[in-house]
A and B are shown apart, each in its own frame.
Chain A
């Protein structure tokens, strides 16, 4: 059918194809492509509210001298560097354990670990804020177990506030990543594992030499998705640490800073747009780097 039409007019015009695809492309064009270019244009302007004037690279220069921006960037990168590897590794380990068909209560464990994905980012942030209060349930449990002598100031100490954000996102997203790995593991022939087991390959070596290499495309996919998510972190930080970014901006993220620049401080759309482009560049660079790293190891 296709071949019969090759060279004919159908090669250039496919009215039905275009018609089916047009609505979504129109919407993406209007609500994503157009605003992203507008944002780029704005990042070369500065001013209060709608009174903007062209400043060229003025905003970019301002970035370097803005300690709050540097803080937000450092925090965002810290979350990314610490949290994404922990979560991916944990999700991989859980998936490879839960992939064993002889495991008792497999379905129950899967459901339990996946459950956090159902909650809204706001609802769980609010829950965590309560659980990690100074004399809250987490501190009192840790104290009862003898792990800590005095309560940890989760919400008020710059270091612990960051740890709390990392704990929170790990809780919410590990199960989500695990599901992707479980799906991919189901496509791997079980006999590979059986042979390795009979040959006496220990569990950890089976994990690093069979599971991880075979799941590489999916690991890459989840890493990129998690990177995009972490770099855009907003809801959790806003709701865990009073909407301001924690004790002396200790948990401030780039997205929250953009929100503050736009809606909390004297609005400066131009500078906020410049900060938002930092996120665009970060996402692009990190994704590119991850694709590159994955490709290199193939050789």
Chain B
């Protein structure tokens, strides 16, 4: 009897706690979407009901911001950075597995140590380097330092351990060169690894802020993250318009997440195994 009541109480507590946590996690998204439909004053006053200002907010957003250009800039940087990062890191992930040099593990560990280098300690030299190369205000300058990622190499190497070595041996017997094995066997077999890495790297690149803030100083090159930040830091920010911006900026990553949730979670899991 007491046990029954205890169990019921515990279930109530558990679900109550989970419900509260889930609510707190989701509420800002909900508030953001409501905000896009409300006027700035209503948002500041904490209104949590749909309003009638959606059309006005969207209209103001599109007159204040060259939205197609800004989205194109963000997409260009995110896609370029993702494709290059995946290419270079998967080559290395495969390379570290087939590598027979006795220096392999030293090299690998040294590379992993770079994960500990904080970006703040790199940004001034990187900024000067980009300046000397004449790359300030270019998207190349944003993308270049993000390609060599020890974390993504680590992820690919972890997953490469699951790649059947029999396939490789068979291909070798058939006379395939190492790069052919990589391109025609490894890449197709590791599809899901690529998918998960794609999501993670794409989100990071799309959401990147500090480095683009430093390098992209002209309005023509700015990304959506930079634009939202500057809209929100105006002296009297129009919160309705800011909300439209955050919704638009969050939609691509939300969509990627919901369409590819399984691979995304697997990707996160793959990296701890």
Taking Cβ atoms with an 8 Å cutoff, the residues of A that contact B are 1-2, 5, 10-14, 16-21, 23-28, 30-36, 38-39, 42, 94, 97-98, 103-104, 108-109, 111-116, 118-124, 126-131, 133, 135-141, 171, 175-176, 179-180, 182-184, 186-187, 203, 218, 221, 228, 231-232, 234-235, 238-239, 242-243, 254-255, 258-259, 262-263, 269, 272-273, 276-277, 279-280, 283-284, 287
Which chain A positions have C-beta within 8 A of B268? Answer: 176, 179-180, 183
**Are A122 and B229 within 8 A (Cβ)?**
yes
Q: Which of B54-62, B190-198, B206-214 contacts the other chain?
A: B206-214
Which chain A positions have C-beta within 8 A of B98? Answer: 16-17, 20
Which chain B positions have C-beta within 8 A of A121? Answer: 207, 209
Asked if A39 meets B125 with Cβ closer than 8 Å, knowing A21-B96, A122-B229, A124-B28, the reply is yes
Pick the contact of B228 from A39, A122, A182 — CB < 8 Å?
Answer: A122
Alpha-carbon gap, A235 to B257, bound state (A)? 22
Asked if A254 meets B120 with Cβ closer than 8 Å, knowing A126-B232, A183-B268, the reply is yes
CB distance from B153 to the nearest CB of A (A): 6
**Are A19 and B272 within 8 A (Cβ)?**
no
CB distance from A173 to the nearest CB of B (A): 11
Per CB-CB distance, the 8 closest pairs between chain A and chain B, nearest first, are A20-B95, A27-B148, A17-B99, A120-B207, A35-B125, A137-B46, A112-B22, A183-B269
Which chain B positions have C-beta within 8 A of A280? Answer: 117-118, 121
**Are A36 and B225 within 8 A (Cβ)?**
no
**Are A234 and B107 within 8 A (Cβ)?**
no
CB distance from A81 to the nearest CB of B (A): 18
Pick the contact of B100 from A17, A254, A272, A276 — CB < 8 Å?
Answer: A17
Pick the contact of B17 from A97, A131, A133 — CB < 8 Å?
Answer: A97
Question: Which residues between 108 and 150 of chain B lie within 8 Å of chain A, taking CB atoms?
Answer: 111, 114-129, 144-145, 147-148, 150
Nearest B residue to A288, CB-CB: B116
Pick the contact of B46 from A115, A119, A140, A238 — CB < 8 Å?
Answer: A140
Alpha-carbon gap, A21 to B95, bound state (A)? 5
Asked if A283 meets B118 with Cβ closer than 8 Å, knowing A126-B246, A137-B48, A183-B268, the reply is yes
**Are B232 and A129 within 8 A (Cβ)?**
yes
Pick the contact of A283 from B116, B126, B210 — CB < 8 Å?
Answer: B116
B14, CB-defined interface residue at 8 Å: yes
Pick the contact of B21 from A35, A94, A231 — CB < 8 Å?
Answer: A94
Which chain A positions have C-beta within 8 A of B46? Answer: 133, 135-141
**Are B250 and A18 within 8 A (Cβ)?**
no
Which chain A positions have C-beta within 8 A of B118? Answer: 228, 231-232, 255, 276, 279-280, 283
Between-chain CB contacts (< 8 Å), 16 pairs: A14-B99, A14-B100, A14-B101, A17-B95, A18-B99, A21-B96, A23-B88, A23-B92, A24-B89, A30-B148, A42-B125, A131-B31, A180-B268, A182-B269, A235-B210, A262-B124
B239, CB-defined interface residue at 8 Å: yes
Alpha-carbon gap, A42 to B145, bound state (A)? 20
**Are A120 and B225 within 8 A (Cβ)?**
yes
Which chain A positions have C-beta within 8 A of B178? Answer: 16, 20
Pick the contact of A21 from B17, B92, B147 — CB < 8 Å?
Answer: B92
Pick the contact of A126 from B129, B153, B242 — CB < 8 Å?
Answer: B242
Alpha-carbon gap, A162 to B255, bound state (A)? 32
Pick the contact of B249 from A5, A114, A120 — CB < 8 Å?
Answer: A120
**Are B124 and A269 within 8 A (Cβ)?**
yes
**Are A24 and B206 within 8 A (Cβ)?**
no
B1, CB-defined interface residue at 8 Å: no
Asked if A242 meets B233 with Cβ closer than 8 Å, knowing A113-B25, A116-B25, the reply is yes
Most-contacted residue by chain A among B24, B118, B148, B249 (CB, 10 A): B118
Interface string of B223-244 (1 = CB under 8 A from A): 0010011001100000100110
Alpha-carbon gap, A128 to B28, bound state (A)? 8
Which chain B positions have C-beta within 8 A of A182? Answer: 269
Which chain B positions have C-beta within 8 A of A25? Answer: 92, 107, 111, 148
Which chain B positions have C-beta within 8 A of A123? Answer: 207, 225, 228, 246, 249-250
Question: Which residues between 131 and 175 of chain B lie within 8 Å of chain A, taking CB atoms?
Answer: 144-145, 147-148, 150, 153, 169
Which chain B positions have C-beta within 8 A of A126? Answer: 228-229, 232, 242, 246
Which chain B positions have C-beta within 8 A of A109? Answer: 18, 21-22
